[in-house]
Every structure is written in structure tokens, then in C-alpha cells.
Structure 1
């Protein structure tokens, strides 16, 4: 019996992964894939809804009143939303294309990278969307401060806090 077909109860304690689980490489890849897909579902739904709304803006009467700067922000926002959608859907396509090729551990790594890129692009989409909406809705003097504050909040929630927890709770052994 090869290592990839062993069940977790057949895995010796010395083969436990970095998180202390007693699972084979295949079981670990399956678990990590399931976790990743659950995460992607959340981000994917949000970016698709936002992107859908963005696509309708160009057809509203008020769009023709936008100045050149706001139109440029809008175009950048739509492109960011489109690329974020593509990156967050990519893990599904990646899995479908490589399914059955026995490369799930590598597929998980690539899907994880695509998801991270998608989150960065989603950050850009949300930032530029907020910038556009606030430029239209409020006084221009407060917009940079409001956008900077919200972006700082996203950075803390999405990146700084997880990085801190990873550093704080990851052991050296």
C-alpha cells in the first residue's frame, strides 16, 4: 500500500503534519481544498454582486454627468472588479482542469495563490468603488480621509490581524 492511499489511522504519530493532524498528504490536500472552496464562496459571492452593480452604473442617467476623473475611476473599478472575479473563480476552473491527475496538493497551492490575488484585487475594487461613490456623494475634502480609513480597516481585518495571529500562535517546532 503506498503512502497516498493510507488512511489517517494508519499514519504513525511521527508523520503528523505541521498542525499536529495525523493525515496523509492526500487527506491533507482534500481538507485544505474543502476549506479553500468554502472561503472562496464567501469572497466570490461578494465580488460578483459588486461587479454586477458596477456594470449597471454606465446605463444610469447620472453617468453622463460624471467628469473625466470619475469616469476614469469607474473604468479602473470595473476592470479591478472583473479581474477580482476572474481570480476568485479561477480555483474552480483550475480544479476542474486538473481533476483526476493526482496533483491535488499542487492544485491547492495554486488555488490558494489565486484566491489571495483575488482578495487583493477585491481590496482594490472596494477601494475604488468607495472612492467613486464618496466623490459623487460628499464633499471632496473628506473623501481621501474616509477612503484611507476604510482601506486601513480592510488591511487590519484581512491581512494584519491574520498575520499577527499566525505569528503569535505558530510554534517554531
Structure 2
């Protein structure tokens, strides 16, 4: 999939220009997800220090722990391209840098969705019955799946259909 995207080249650009364009596109995407993920992570860190949180049940503590870890993993995956770039800068490996960064961002998005779902579950569990909160989070995760997977697949399919 990434090889198709990397092979796409405008008529007026060289291979190096194409790699630079792909790298810049990835950086723009990273800027968006890094900020939101870091804000979510900071918010989650603060929850454990609230007095009411200590009286929560095991379920809430387990969801919180998984959510916090998912957010931390997402942060690490979204920041990894920076370190990766620093070590490979001027090594002539931009093509590999783009492929690895793309995979890191995709993995980070999986952990970001998990942390968003966990955060919403923690909040809804306070104001709704637990079964209702769980169902709503399932619907929310399905919504992410539709927007992030189904819709792009549909658009790609329509592009490939002749006529």
C-alpha cells in the first residue's frame, strides 16, 4: 500500500522531490495527532491524583491503567519519527524513513483510538450505567472504524471502478 503511494510521482518532480513531498505530508499529519495525543495523555495523568479516583472500583482502575498505557504508547509512536529522522539524517535513506514513519503513525493511531475509547469509557461510566457506557464506547470505536478504514476503502474502491 505504501509502495503505491511512494511510487506516485507528479510529472514535474524528481524522485528526491517526491520523497520530500511525502515526508512533508507525513510531518503535517504528525503535527495534528501529536498535539491531541499529548493533551489526552496529560489529562489522563491528572486523573489518578483526584481524590474521587481512589474510591473507584477495580474496573475503572483497570480501564484507566490500560488507557494511560495506550496513550503513552501512542505518544511514543508519534514521537519516534523525530528520533528516527535525527539518526538517519543525511544518510540517504529518506525512502526507508518514509516507510517506517508511515508504519509508526499507523500503529500510533491504533493506540490513540484505544486511549480515546478508554477515556470516554471512564467518563461515561461516571454518568451512565456501565452497560450503556460500554455500548456507547463500542459505537464510538465503530464510528472511528468507519471514518478511518471504511470510508477511505470506499473512496479507493470508487477510484478503481471504471466509468
Tell me the TM-score normalised to structure 1 length.
0.85
Larger deviation, residues 151-160 vs 39-48: 151-160
Match in the other structure for 2:116: 126
2:27 match: 37
Are residue 86 (structure 1) and residue 102 (structure 2) matched? no
Paired position in structure 1 for 2:138: 148
Higher helix share: 2
Runs (5+) with no aligned partner, structure 2: 1-5
> Is the 1:77–1:125 Cα contact (8 Å) retained in structure 2?
yes
Q: Tell me: higher relative CO, structure 1 or 2? Use CA pairs within 8 A at least 6 residues apart.
A: 2
Partner of 2:129: 139
Contact 2:9–2:15, Cα closer than 8 Å, also in 1: no
Superposition deviation, residue 105 in structure 1: 0.8
Superposition map of 1:21-170 within 5 A:
21-22=10-11, 23-170=13-160
Deviation, structure 1 residue 24: 2.1
Provide, for residues 98-157 of structure 1, a one-character-per-residue CA deviation record: whole Å limited to 9, x for no partner.
010000011000001000000011011111111111112211231122111111111111
Output the aligned Cα RMSD. 1.7
* Number of residue pairs matched by the alignment: 156
Deviation at 1:167, TM superposition (A): 2.6
Change (3 A) 1:20 1:106: closer
